[in-house]
Structure 1
Amino acid sequence: MTFEQLHLIEPILKALQQEGYTSPTPIQEQSIPILLQGNDLLGCAQTGTGKTAAFSIPILQKLYKTDNKKGIKALILTPTRELAIQIGESFEAYGKYTGLRHTVIFGGVGQKPQTDALRAGVQILIATPGRLMDLASQGFISLKTLDFFVLDEADRMLDMGFIHDIKKILKLLPPQRQTLFFSATMPPEIEKLANSMLTNPKKVEVTPASSTVDTISQCLYFVEKKEKTDLLIHLLKDKSVESALIFTRTKHGADKLSRVLKNTGISAEAIHGNKSQNARQRALTDFKNHDLRVLIATDIAARGIDVDLLSHVFNYELPNVPETYVHRIGRTGRAGHEGVAIAFCESEELPYLKDIQKLIGKTIPVIKEHPFVTTESINAQEKKTEELKIKAKENKPYRGNRANGDYWRRQQQPQQGKKSQNDRKPQKGPQK
């Protein structure tokens, strides 16, 4: 199928042609007709399959054909600044010949440029929840004229604790509107909540929930924590690693790893919530332009990173939420291109690995031979695996090493300082 067969207007077709797009992705092919018909939509597709175009193109087309273009007509709510900026770039690219105006608002920067843009008048607003509520309370934003409400990365928005903000924002919206939820993962509890906000929604799920795209080659290294950095440096010496996005669980870990890599001559920067917006945007721009080879990020900061031909994603630390793994590796292998996802796993992370492999429905291939395979890591892996098997078999909480019988002896001995019921002396005097 081509975009022409989706009955798109000429200004949008012209823009898509200039962007080099000829055929819609599955999520676009199924979603665009539904949205052009005016239905609410719950869309679930893998990261990197074109969800942004799936909702931005029909919004642009419907607004272009609307006579009354006064006021904010479309609100796209997103969890992070980076993702908001990326969505804004998509609306700029696809809507360049429509004459429709948009702006992006988020916290961490001065509000004057944003309020100036709002005063000038926009039809499309892309926002993060905090800054949206702030400017709305100051009277800079009115959503009474809204026709479209989009919640992007719906599972992450709700999972990150934005649910109360979202409920407050929903009260500012007119009841008659078209509501769109898009996400790469859709756990049942999130889907239930989403359905309570949608009206007779159509559901589009082009791939199994929480699956990973086939163009991503995944592999796993068992390595102990103290040798992770040395293994990473060893792998980054490979010239085929043209660009690498590396994930850590903490901001401190991202900064520390960045310093170590720089000291070894590897160009690297870290982005996370404690970095200023200008610093984050500068590092992200350098990475997108391939002037920076390595970008280290925490999960929240990495939302919305869309880099052309990103060759590698490293899970330096495995996430404790398995769905996060899908989002992480989905930064590579986008738009049909191939990519590589490499995961490091220390012995303490084996439960995380088990949950991830259960979620994606496949076993990640293990690279057994590398310079930092140690007897310690192999023994730790085997021991932890055996402990998990015993725990599952007995269906009891794990109590540590029971081989010497200490645990059971403690259970059978009276606790020090306490007497059994039979040892207690009878009280004197009448009983009350």
Structure 2
Amino acid sequence: MHFSELGLKAEIQRAVAEQGYDTPTPIQQQAIPAVLAGHDLMATAQTGTGKTAGFTLPILHLLASGSNDRLTRIAKTPRVLVLTPTRELAIQVEESVRTYGKHLPINSLAVFGGVGINPQIANLRRGVDILVATPGRLLDHVQQRTVDLSAIEIFVLDEADRMLDMGFIRDIRKVIALLPQKRQNLLFSATFSPEIRELAAGLLNKPVSVDVAPRNTAAETVTQKVIETDRERKKELLCHLFQTHGWHQVLVFARTKHGADALARTLDKAGIKAAAIHGDKSQGARTRVLSEFKEGKLVALVATDIAARGIDIDALPYVINYELPNVPEDYVHRIGRTGRAGMAGEAVSLVCHDERPQLKDIEKLIKRTLERVVIAGFEQSAVATPRPPQPPRGPRKPQPGRGAPAAKSGQNPGGPQKHRSGSRHR
């Protein structure tokens, strides 16, 4: 199939061609006709399947078609709302809108926390057709009466599974309650848990279901390996792997923000240019680090699970699980950052004794036993060494992007896009 067969406006087809695409991905082939026909959509799609273009292309077509053409429209209220779990995803979705809508008179804006709200208010006042937002900052605007959601025609809930993981369900329900009853709804999720299905049941009206990947399975284009070693040898092993394999542009996952910072420092000291990205970094720092990583100035980017949702690199070759996630579905999300758009990728997990239960859960989820690789000099000992005593921890404060109900601080993203801040397409 060719993009020309999908019935999209010539201006959109031109923009797609300018990005070097001529054949839609499987999710685009299924989702675009359904959205163009006005149906609600429930789509199972993993990272790297082209899902963003799968909804931005038909939405742009619908907004630019018919009697409600933007050229004759006077109202300045948003007509489309895309809700995303992280600021990085909001930025990338909005950039996709600008990329594919560059030849259309359509305005878009991304609003998210971590940056000043006043420039966003000014852009909203000038008029926006497509609003991409994170839940916390959107509710900030609602509270300040700087956004009007009464004219929303299409509502997109992107990465719904991550929304629930981050505790945004109450915020999502608040947003939905503000929307007009008559609208088109599109829900995208990498996995469909009972909680997601319950949410979908209350949101979608006779939806078309699109499933482009078996549920909870890892990308088939990713080679997955496990290196079993001791906890205290992991840092040394990771440096050894970098030095002996000639790796470049490697995404390394750590479980905590503190751990990500410490690991990045260790790699840097070993001569491996590295930086960390997580929720405690400012938006400016996160944007800068991502740009340096994409440009190849950094060899390694050490990330936590939430921050990594915004990393969209078309040919990312390697993902390293320095620590396994506690939730097995997060393993699928992690390795989905590589092996995208049919390209080969490699995922390596460093597993110590303590992580064997998580490894067992992951293998159960993906229904396969991962290949074990032994690295000479780093073999796992027969018995785990005791963990060092941990200092007592006081009560944790809610973190931005962790889904504190109706948080007032900003919570924190289809074809390749360049990374930039949520600017407004004019």
TM-score range, shorter chain: 0.7 to 0.9
- Deviation >4 Å, runs of 4+: 378-381
Structure of higher RCO (CA pairs closer than 8 Å, 6+ residues apart):
2
Are 1:308 and 2:314 matched, yes or no?
yes
User: Counterpart amino acid of 1:280?
Assistant: R
How much does 1:171 deviate?
Answer: 1.0
Q: How many angstroms apart in 2 are the aligned matches of 1:24 and 1:236?
A: 36
Asked if structure 2 preserves the Cα contact closer than 8 Å seen for 1:143 and 1:172, the reply is yes
SS of 1:146's partner is coil
SS of 1:17's partner is helix
SS of 2:371's partner is coil
User: Counterpart amino acid of 1:197?
Assistant: L
SS of 1:237's partner is helix
Asked if structure 1 preserves the Cα contact closer than 8 Å seen for 2:227 and 2:373, the reply is yes
Partner of 1:60: 60
Partner of 1:406: none
1:181-203, Cα deviation, whole Å (9 max, x unpaired): 10111123322222221111111
Partner of 2:14: 14
Partner of 1:400: none
Partner of 1:196: 202
Out of 143, 155, 158, which is 2:161 matched to? 155
1:144-182, Cα deviation, whole Å (9 max, x unpaired): 110010010001101211000011111110000001110
Q: How many angstroms apart in 1 are the aligned matches of 2:184 and 2:254?
A: 37
How much does 1:214 deviate?
Answer: 1.5
Are 1:143 and 2:172 matched, yes or no?
no
Are 1:359 and 2:365 matched, yes or no?
yes
Q: How many angstroms apart in 2 are the aligned matches of 1:284 and 1:228?
A: 25
Partner of 2:23: 23
Are 1:4 and 2:4 matched, yes or no?
yes
How much does 1:46 deviate?
Answer: 2.3
Asked if structure 2 preserves the Cα contact closer than 8 Å seen for 1:286 and 1:292, the reply is yes
How much does 1:237 deviate?
Answer: 1.4
Asked if structure 2 preserves the Cα contact closer than 8 Å seen for 1:46 and 1:211, the reply is no
Are 1:318 and 2:318 matched, yes or no?
no
Per the normalisation by structure 1, the TM-score is 0.86
Out of 270, 281, 286, which is 2:287 matched to? 281
Question: 286-295 vs 101-110, which deviates more?
Answer: 286-295
SS of 1:353's partner is helix
Q: How many angstroms apart in 2 are the aligned matches of 1:46 and 1:303?
A: 12
How much does 1:239 deviate?
Answer: 5.2
Note the 1:330-345 alignment, pairs <5 A: 330-345=336-351
Asked if structure 2 preserves the Cα contact closer than 8 Å seen for 1:46 and 1:210, the reply is no
How much does 1:83 deviate?
Answer: 0.8
Q: How many angstroms apart in 2 are the aligned matches of 1:116 and 1:337?
A: 42
User: Counterpart amino acid of 1:34?
Assistant: A
Partner of 1:348: 354
How much does 1:369 deviate?
Answer: 3.6
SS of 1:290's partner is coil
| Structure (1 or 2) with the larger CA radius of gyration | 1
Which structure is higher in helix share?
Answer: 1
How much does 1:368 deviate?
Answer: 2.3
CA RMSD between the two structures: 1.3
How much does 1:320 deviate?
Answer: 0.8
Q: Which runs of no fewer than 5 residues in structure 2 stay unpaired?
A: 386-426
1:393-429, Cα deviation, whole Å (9 max, x unpaired): xxxxxxxxxxxxxxxxxxxxxxxxxxxxxxxxxxxxx
Question: 204-213 vs 234-243, which deviates more?
Answer: 234-243
Aligned CA distance change for structure 1 residues 365 and 142 (closer, same or farther; 3 Å): same
Q: How many angstroms apart in 1 are the aligned matches of 2:26 and 2:244?
A: 35
Question: 280-289 vs 185-194, which deviates more?
Answer: 185-194
How much does 1:379 deviate?
Answer: 4.6
Note the 1:64-143 alignment, pairs <5 A: 64-68=64-68, 69=70, 70=75, 71-143=77-149
SS of 1:249's partner is coil
Q: How many angstroms apart in 1 are the aligned matches of 2:244 and 2:27?
A: 35
1:1-27, Cα deviation, whole Å (9 max, x unpaired): 111111111111101101111111111
Q: How many angstroms apart in 1 are the aligned matches of 2:123 and 2:133?
A: 13
Partner of 1:246: 252
SS of 2:319's partner is strand
Question: 361-370 vs 168-177, which deviates more?
Answer: 361-370
Partner of 1:391: none
How much does 1:246 deviate?
Answer: 0.6
How much does 1:380 deviate?
Answer: 4.9
Q: How many angstroms apart in 2 are the aligned matches of 1:343 and 1:269?
A: 19
Partner of 1:35: 35
Asked if structure 2 preserves the Cα contact closer than 8 Å seen for 1:258 and 1:269, the reply is yes
Partner of 2:296: 290
SS of 1:281's partner is helix
Q: How many angstroms apart in 2 are the aligned matches of 1:140 and 1:149?
A: 19
Q: How many angstroms apart in 1 are the aligned matches of 2:191 and 2:321?
A: 19
Q: How many residue pairs are counted as aligned between the two chains?
A: 379
How much does 1:113 deviate?
Answer: 1.6
1:212-263, Cα deviation, whole Å (9 max, x unpaired): 2221111110011101111110111145422100111100000110111111
Partner of 1:425: none
Q: How many angstroms apart in 2 are the aligned matches of 1:248 and 1:66?
A: 49
Note the 1:385-424 alignment, pairs <5 A: none
Asked if structure 1 preserves the Cα contact closer than 8 Å seen for 2:219 and 2:335, the reply is no
How much does 1:49 deviate?
Answer: 0.6
User: Counterpart amino acid of 2:367?
Assistant: G
Q: How many angstroms apart in 1 are the aligned matches of 2:268 and 2:138?
A: 37
Are 1:221 and 2:227 matched, yes or no?
yes
Asked if structure 2 preserves the Cα contact closer than 8 Å seen for 1:133 and 1:169, the reply is yes
User: Counterpart amino acid of 1:42?
Assistant: M
Per the normalisation by structure 2, the TM-score is 0.87
Partner of 1:237: 243
Partner of 2:395: none
**Identity of aligned pairs, percent?**
52
Q: How many angstroms apart in 2 are the aligned matches of 1:280 and 1:370?
A: 36
Asked if structure 1 preserves the Cα contact closer than 8 Å seen for 2:12 and 2:103, the reply is yes
